[in-house]
Amino acid sequence: MQFGAVCVSWHSAMKFNQVKHITSPRHQHQVPILLVPDQDERTLSVYDVMHEKFLDLKVLIPHTERFCGSSKGWLIAVNRDYSITLYKPYFMAKNENSGANTSLCLNLPRLFPRSPEDEECFSYPIWSHHVFKAIITADPLEDANKCIVLTIFGEYLQLAYIGCAKDTTWTMIGVEYGPFDDILSLKNQVYALSYL
């Protein structure tokens, strides 16, 4: 599998990190890794894209719910009750007190759940398709006040956000501008893309 062949931006990231790795004895920026589901639904294998091999690491996931995004080293999952969980796998999180590797979970409120009547109309569990994409603007461990979770969700692909440190409910954004196809956070700005 060629990491740089996925798309232009991944190719650029690969080249940048190869140069940085060569010129810096201790590079701090880590190239993205791929998490590949195992046959056991509760573990993921870790694929090192720079060296094109699987690492001797397994990620135990706390639940088998659907992941709807990854950002800043966190996986974002939508749960059966429409709540959102931020999950930082054990190999990316270090518990300073014990010195042992631990996983972290941050549970967020329910994201505008569908009614039970709506769910009866579908032949599949609609909670698993409720969130199209989710991102975070900052690592909640480094700066919880700047961490905002942004989602594209629902049948009409609307935007919603919640501040990790200060909000207790989700807020919808720009309903009149949807449907949205993509979102990203760059240099303290959030961008949303709609093809309409």
In the chain, how many domains are there? 1
1-5, 19-23, 72-76, 122-126 — which one is most confidently predicted on average? 72-76
Radius of gyration of the chain (CA): 18
Kindly give, in sequence order, each residue whose CB lies less than 8 Å from that of residue 116, ignoring residues fewer than 6 positions away. Answer: none
Domain region containing 147: 63-196
- Taken in order 107, 149, 146, 173, the sign of the CA dihedral is negative
pLDDT at 133: 94
pLDDT band for position 100 (cuts 50, 70, 90) = low
The answer to whether residue 36 is domain-embedded is: no
Asked if residue 114 has pLDDT above 80, the reply is no
The answer to whether residue 14 is domain-embedded is: no
The answer to whether residue 142 is domain-embedded is: yes
Each residue's pLDDT tens digit, 155-185: 888 999 999 988 999 999 876 777 889 999 8
The three-state secondary structure class of 148 is strand
pLDDT at 12: 65
8 A C-beta contact, residue 102 and residue 93: yes
Asked if residue 137 has pLDDT above 90, the reply is yes
The answer to whether residue 25 is domain-embedded is: no
The answer to whether residue 41 is domain-embedded is: no
